[in-house]
Amino acid sequence: MDLPENKEPKPRDPDRDTKYRERPGERDGHPARDNPHGDRDREKQRERKKDARDRDKERHKEKSREQDTEKSHSKGKDRGDKDRDRRARREEPRQTAAHHNLLGRQPLDRAECRMGAVSKVRTEEKERRDEDPERGDEERERRYRERKLQYGDSKDNPLKYWLYKEEGEKRHRKQKEPDRERKHGEKSSTRERREKYPKGKSNSFPDKEGEERHKEKRHKEGFHFDEERRQSDMDKKERLLREDLKKRESKSSEHRRRGASSRRDPTSSREGPCALWYAENLVRNNEKDKDSRGKEVEKEDFDSESAGGDEYTACFEDDFEDYEDDFEVCDGDDDGSDELGAREKIEELPLARKKEIQEVQKAINAENERVSELSCRLAQKQGPLEGERALKTGANSSPARTPVCGIFVDFATASHREKSRTQALKQKMRSTRLLRLLDLDFSFTFSLLDLPPVNEYDMYIRNFGKKNTKQAYVQYNEDAVDRDVQTEEIETRGVWTQHPAEGATVSGGSGSGELRDVATAPKVDTPRLSSFLRAACQVIAVLLEEDRVGPEPGWSPGTQDGTLPVSDRSSQLNASLPFLQNRTVLCLCASQGQSQTVVSVHGLPGAPFAPALDGRYVLCVWDIWQPSGPQKVLICESKVTCCCFSPFKAFLLFAGTVHGSVVVWDLREDSGIHRYVKLGDCFWTFRTATFSTDGILTSVNHCSPVQAVEPVSTPVYRKQSFVLSPFSTQEEMSGLSFHVASLDESGVLNVWVVVELPKADIAGSVSDLGLIPGGRVKLVHSAVVRLSDGLSHTRFEFWGAMQTLNVKFLPSDPSHFIVGTDVGLISHGTRQDLKVSPKLYKPQQPGMRPVKVNVIDFSPFGEPVFLAGCSDGSIRLHQLTSERPVLQWDGSTDGHAVIGLHWSLTRPAVFLAQDDTSCIYVWDLLGSDLGPVAKQLISPDRLVAMTVVGEAEKANGSFLALVLARASGRVDVQYLKRTWAAPVADELRKLQLLLREAL
Amino acid sequence: MTSSTPASFTTGTADGLPETEKNAGESENTYILRPIFQQRFRPSVVKECIHAVLKEELANAEYSPEEMPQLTKRLSETIKDKLKEMGFDRYKMVVQVVIGEQRGEGVFMAARCFWDADTDNYTCDVFMNDSLFCVVAAFGCFYY
């Protein structure tokens, strides 16, 4: 068991070194460091306290110890020394106490001197005391250095701190060793040991070495290490010896323990009362002869020391030696190795957490203080004075002192502490061993609670209702208290529709039944439907009218007598309307596009009828299939001299007036923008002109009565629109793409562009003067051709102003036109003022004659021929390329002026003529090119105006009708006989042949 | 803003401290470096336990500064005892109870341990009512 120690003295030594060094550090928190004398003071005080109690006992001890030391010079010198040492300390106060009070500190030395011979022990003690301050300084330095070393290396591992602490504690224990060794000169292999060695030597050989020598040695300690080293060799030998002794001691002590005082066993109950302790002391004193006994005593001392806290004073270092002996026995090999390991660790210890250590020190000291206070209190019971002193010095009292008190007072606690100390020691060992096996680490930071601060509103809500406030209600509409709903939810439903309605679904909604609501409206082509309806209505109306006419033949007087001999049948347009009474027909005009549409222009009434209408001229648009009434009734302020329909489709009516204005009616207009007049039992809409050039465009407008209005369009002969065909492409194709030409008497030919406004402005337009509010069609002046210039500057200037009477445009080439004059000549011109040949078409009779060319008419079949009817009753057939007429019939009308001349619309070789004596002549050039094939006098109701309507393309339904206006105002339709109406095979070719022959 | 000082109390106990090394001459140690699996500190179980205790004890608790110190002590003892009964052999238990008043302030609590992560563990449970919050942290440290 001792072997390890012997084997490894050196490893242990450094430990001791450090421990030793550490020790003062622990103390230095207080007196040792700061005040070397403080130590002494405290010691003294403590000694003083103890004095009273110790005195008797100590004397016993002293004696026995002296005996001991002398007896066991070689064998038990350690024990003896220890005893002596301890005793010395106890004695010393006794001796010094008196001096101390009187002399203070300095006297100590004197006292020492005086007492020099009294007892070695005492002097030793004093030496020690003297030593203390010095040592304190030295040690402090050393310790400081060492700490630096130790902690400088590794500050990282906090574990080492604990190790360090543990080691520190161990060191505390072991520090006692060095102290002891100091006295015994044992185990001194290191410098410190050596330092103390002399002391130990001196202690161990008190007889031989005097006080003086001790002092010397102490002086030398710091400086003469060599010497010490030499001594260390001796020490080792001594130690060997001593350990032998120890063995023996332990045996005997154990024996003794069992025999004499089992109570003293550290593990068994040590809480015996003081009496026991005294008894033990007595016993021990008795036994002190034996060396082994010393150990026992030391143990006792140790107990008391531990009772006073972890105070490691020189006095009781002996005890630790003892303890360590025991310990060594227990631990065997481990101890040494552990210590070694621990020491290694110490050196690795993290950088001095000085603060922590200091704290530990403080804690220890604080505990010490507490204990000392406790002991003071106990001491007070014994002596109030001493207690007071103890209190005063309590703060400064070194931990070393209290145990002395505890020896007597706190035995029970002491034993307990001893137990816990061993326990702690074991645990420390455990921990050191375990820590080698384990790997401790820092956990990451656990968040135990993260309670964010509550914001103000949440706080309010949380506390709402807990306080004395109450929220009664919130109401938007505050005065409607009876309503407990704050806000009524608005019911909403999303629906949609789409215009134009393309696709299967035209409307839908996101409401209740989405899919159900999606109406699958049939795809309706509205314009197509409306046009179909328009046409269908027309047809139905015609049929209904025919039905009505049939059973009431009397309604139409012409059915009996009205039918002319040249016609198969006839019908009468109902011109007996109230507003047409007493109005004569000024002219008739048929539409080129729509063969059934005819307009009649009625003059001013002979007798006043209605003030609103009396001053106006009335135009009636008829459908010859619906003779019961006019389709539209138009009124005009000024006298209408001529009129025409728009080509292709008769929805526009143009008229020229005597005032030189050109007027346009848009027949599609809604009747709402026109005036309603209730006549009889039905309403009539009298449409005013949509656009009139009256008063505007004065620079270009006609200044004399308009003689003719003609539409100018792309070849009309190509294909006439079918009446009932609502899907006619021509409507879409041509639309309004035509011009209107108006010719006045003075030879000014104006060309107008018909413009349809995209949107009607019901409030009237500011810029478009002359346009009726809500109207959409207007005329824009395009060009003017002054025919009079071209005509007059030739050879007719002496005739004065020549009148132009009418104009016709070549159907195949609208840029060419011919103008009838009042001198029997027909002028040929183009809109572009190009040179044309011939310039004039002249009658066969040479020379100038005042013959008006009343009517001219181009063949509607594309043949470049035209007819001209003159006021002298001659009818000429001209080819466009020749100046002179192909044919000229001068006496066909017996000299009566021809006022009407119309090519048949169904037969290219047939034309109809009318003279001013109400005679109608039917010409069939294939039948006779010398005169008319038929002549019909219209009487007694004179004919005033005639026009021709007809349709060729109708399969075996082609008709040719004459619309005749009588002087009485009657208007009837005479359907010519089929012989003149139905075309003959190859008629056009035959006509051409005939014309070639005529040339 | 007044701050409520949480009352806390911590109890530690050495559970099943082995006395095996008592024998001085024994060279073999009895260290157990890892707990038996069944006896491992199981945070979930412990948490349940803590939760049960808190629910029972703090069901109708109101914060009052005078009572809280006792309450924390009692709670910690109770929980510690319960944990002891749960048979975490060789575990040292540390139970920390913190009770604070709920006044809207933010609170952040954190813990950090220096331990053997293989064997040691912890759990915590929070109980809150309108007037107080209670945080219990239980640490189990294995005693090798």
Q: Which of residues 140-169 of A touch B (CB under 8 A)?
A: 158-159
How much is the pLDDT for A632?
86
Mutation site, B17, B116, B132, B141, interface A, largest A CB count within 10 A: B116
How much is the pLDDT for A241?
53
pLDDT band at B116 (very low <50, low <70, confident <90, very high): confident
How much is the pLDDT for A425?
92
Lowest mean pLDDT among A122-131, A678-687, B39-48: A122-131
Percent of chain A with pLDDT over 70: 51
Closest-CA residue of chain B to A455: B104
pLDDT surpassing 70 at residue A538: yes
How much is the pLDDT for A23?
44
Residue bearing the bigger pLDDT, A616 or A145:
A616
Closest-CA residue of chain B to A466: B130
How far is Cα B136 from Cα A529, in angstroms, rounded to an integer?
A: 88
Interface of B with A (CB under 8 A): 21-22, 24-25, 27, 29, 31, 33, 98, 104-117, 122, 124, 126, 130, 133, 135, 137, 144
How much is the pLDDT for B69?
92
Mutation site, A443, A462, A464, interface B, largest B CB count within 10 A: A443
How far is Cα A335 from Cα A432, in angstroms, rounded to an integer?
A: 11
pLDDT band at A732 (very low <50, low <70, confident <90, very high): very low
Pick from A639, A781, A816: nearest CA to A698: A781
CB atoms within 10 A of CB A215: 15
Decide: A826 and A853 in contact? Cβ < 8 Å: yes
Residue bearing the bigger pLDDT, A227 or B104:
B104
pLDDT band at A231 (very low <50, low <70, confident <90, very high): low
How much is the pLDDT for A34?
44
How many Cα atoms are found within 13 Å in the side-chain-facing hemisphere of A621? 25
How much is the pLDDT for A414?
85
How far is Cα A341 from Cα A335, in angstroms, rounded to an integer?
A: 10
Order of strands across the sheet that contains A840-841:
A804-809, A816-821, A826-830, A840-841
Residue A334: phi, psi to the nearest 5?
Answer: -55, -40
Closest-CA residue of chain B to A436: B33
pLDDT surpassing 80 at residue A52: no
Q: Hey, which bits of A43-174 come out as E strands?
A: none
Mean pLDDT of A5-17: 43
How much is the pLDDT for A762?
76
Residue bearing the bigger pLDDT, A715 or A825:
A825
Residue bearing the bigger pLDDT, A466 or A930:
A930
Decide: A749 and A785 in contact? Cβ < 8 Å: yes
What does the pLDDT look like over B120-133, one tens digit per residue?
Answer: 889 999 999 888 99
Residues of B with Cβ-Cβ distance to A437 under 8 angstroms:
31, 33, 144
pLDDT surpassing 80 at residue A761: no
How much is the pLDDT for A625?
79
Closest-CA residue of chain B to A453: B106
For chain B, give the mean pLDDT. Answer: 80
What does the pLDDT look like over A432-456, one tens digit per residue?
Answer: 888 888 788 888 888 888 888 888 8
pLDDT band at B137 (very low <50, low <70, confident <90, very high): very high
Please name the amino acid found at residue A984: V
What does the pLDDT look like over A456-490, one tens digit per residue?
Answer: 888 777 777 776 766 666 656 656 666 665 566 77
Mean pLDDT of A49-72: 50
For chain B, give the number of residues. Answer: 144
How far is Cα A576 from Cα A893, in angstroms, rounded to an integer?
A: 32
pLDDT band at A860 (very low <50, low <70, confident <90, very high): confident
Alpha-carbon distances of B100 from A364, A447, B25, B109, rounded to whole Å: 34, 16, 52, 11
Lowest mean pLDDT among A114-118, A369-373, A915-919: A114-118
The domains found in chain B, sorted by start residue, are 43-142 (3.30.1140.40)
Mean pLDDT of A835-863: 81
Residues of B with Cβ-Cβ distance to A438 under 8 angstroms:
33, 116, 144
pLDDT surpassing 60 at residue A390: no
Q: What is the 3 state secondary structure string of chain B? A: CCCCCCEEEEEEECCCCCCHHHCCCCCCCCCCCCCCHHHCCCHHHHHHHHHHHHHHHHCCCCCCCCCHHHHHHHHHHHHHHHHHHCCCCCEEEEEEEEEEECCCCCEEEEECCEECCCCCEEEEEEEECCCEEEEEEEEEEECC
**How would you classify the pairing of strands B132-142 and B121-128?**
antiparallel
Mean pLDDT of B129-140: 90
- Compute the radius of gyration of chain B from its Cα atoms: 17
pLDDT surpassing 80 at residue A227: no
Residue bearing the bigger pLDDT, A693 or A470:
A693
Residue bearing the bigger pLDDT, A611 or A561:
A611
3-class SS of residue A75: coil
How much is the pLDDT for A420?
92
Q: Which of A439, A446, A453 sits opposite B110 (nearest CB)?
A: A446
Lowest mean pLDDT among A142-151, A328-337, B121-130: A328-337
pLDDT surpassing 80 at residue B110: yes
Residues of B with Cβ-Cβ distance to A462 under 8 angstroms:
104, 130
pLDDT band at A12 (very low <50, low <70, confident <90, very high): very low
How far is Cα A436 from Cα B90, in angstroms, rounded to an integer?
A: 19
Please report the sign of the dihedral spanned by the C-alpha atoms of residue A903, residue A906, residue A907, residue A913.
Answer: negative
How much is the pLDDT for A196?
44
Name A320's bridge partners: none
Decide: A557 and A572 in contact? Cβ < 8 Å: yes
Lowest mean pLDDT among A80-84, A530-534, A850-854, B72-76: A80-84
Decide: B144 and A433 in contact? Cβ < 8 Å: no
**How far B52 CA sits from the closest chain A CA (Å)?**
18
pLDDT band at B98 (very low <50, low <70, confident <90, very high): very high
Pick from A304, A550, A527, A548: nearest CA to A410: A304
Whether A441 and B122 lie within 8 Å, measured CB to CB: no
**How would you classify the pairing of strands B132-142 and B91-101?**
antiparallel
What does the pLDDT look like over A596-613, one tens digit per residue?
Answer: 888 988 888 877 777 777
How much is the pLDDT for B135?
92
Q: Which of A332, A439, A459 sits opposite B116 (nearest CB)?
A: A439
How far is Cα A436 from Cα A425, in angstroms, rounded to an integer?
A: 17
What does the pLDDT look like over A256-287, one tens digit per residue?
Answer: 444 444 444 444 444 444 444 444 444 454 54
pLDDT band at A424 (very low <50, low <70, confident <90, very high): very high
A448 touches chain B (CB under 8 A): yes
How much is the pLDDT for A139?
58
Pick from A863, A979, A861, A995: nearest CA to A924: A979
Instruction: Say if pTM beats, i.e. exceeds, 0.80.
Output: no
How far is Cα A181 from Cα A171, in angstroms, rounded to an integer?
A: 14
The domains found in chain A, sorted by start residue, are 568-715+734-996 (2.130.10.10)
How much is the pLDDT for A289?
46
Mean pLDDT of A916-931: 84
Mean pLDDT of B76-97: 89
How much is the pLDDT for A45?
52
Mean pLDDT of A345-373: 70
For chain A, give the mean pLDDT. Answer: 66
How much is the pLDDT for A96?
43
Residue bearing the bigger pLDDT, B35 or A348:
B35
Residue bearing the bigger pLDDT, A707 or B23:
A707
Residues of B with Cβ-Cβ distance to A445 under 8 angstroms:
110-112
How far is Cα A101 from Cα A129, in angstroms, rounded to an integer?
A: 17
Mean pLDDT of A375-404: 49
How much is the pLDDT for A956?
57
How far is Cα A422 from Cα A416, in angstroms, rounded to an integer?
A: 10
How far is Cα A828 from Cα A187, in angstroms, rounded to an integer?
A: 159
How much is the pLDDT for A932?
84
How much is the pLDDT for A308?
44
Mean pLDDT of A781-799: 65
